[in-house]
Amino acid sequence: MTSSTETTEGASPLTHFDARGQAHMVDVGAKVPTHRIAVASGCIEMQPETLILINSGTAKKGDVFGVARLAGIMAAKKTSSLIPLCHPLALTRVAVDFDAPSDSSLHYTAVVCRATVESFGPTGVEMEALTAVQVALLTIYDMCKAVDRDMVINGVRVEEKRGGKSGYYPALP
- Name the catalytic one among 18, 27, 97, 142: 142
Please name which of 155, 158, 156 lies closest in space to residue 170, comparing C-alpha atoms. 158
Among 71, 125, 133, smallest CA distance to 98 is for 133
**Domain limits for position 88:** 34-162
**What confidence tens digit (pLDDT) does each residue in 131-145 have?**
999 999 999 999 999
pLDDT of residue 165: 80
| pLDDT value at residue 6 | 40
Q: Is residue 27 part of a domain?
A: no
* 105 contacts: CB under 8 Å, gap ≥ 6: 48
Count how many Cα atoms sit within 13 Å of the Cα of residue 124 in the half-sphere of its side chain: 20
Answer yes or no: 142 catalytic: yes
Contacts from 146-150 at CB under 8 Å and sequence distance 24+?
A: 146/60, 147/49, 147/50, 147/53, 147/59, 148/46, 148/47, 148/49, 148/50, 150/46, 150/47
Query: Is 172 domain-assigned?
Result: no
H helices present in 2-156, as ranges? 48-56, 64-77, 79-82, 126-144
The CATH number of whichever domain residue 157 belongs to comes to 3.30.70.640
Ranges of the chain whose pLDDT falls below 50? 1-9
Count: domains in the chain: 1
pLDDT per residue as tens digits for the range 86-121: 889 999 999 999 998 766 566 778 999 999 999 999
13 located within any domain: no
pLDDT attached to residue 62: 83
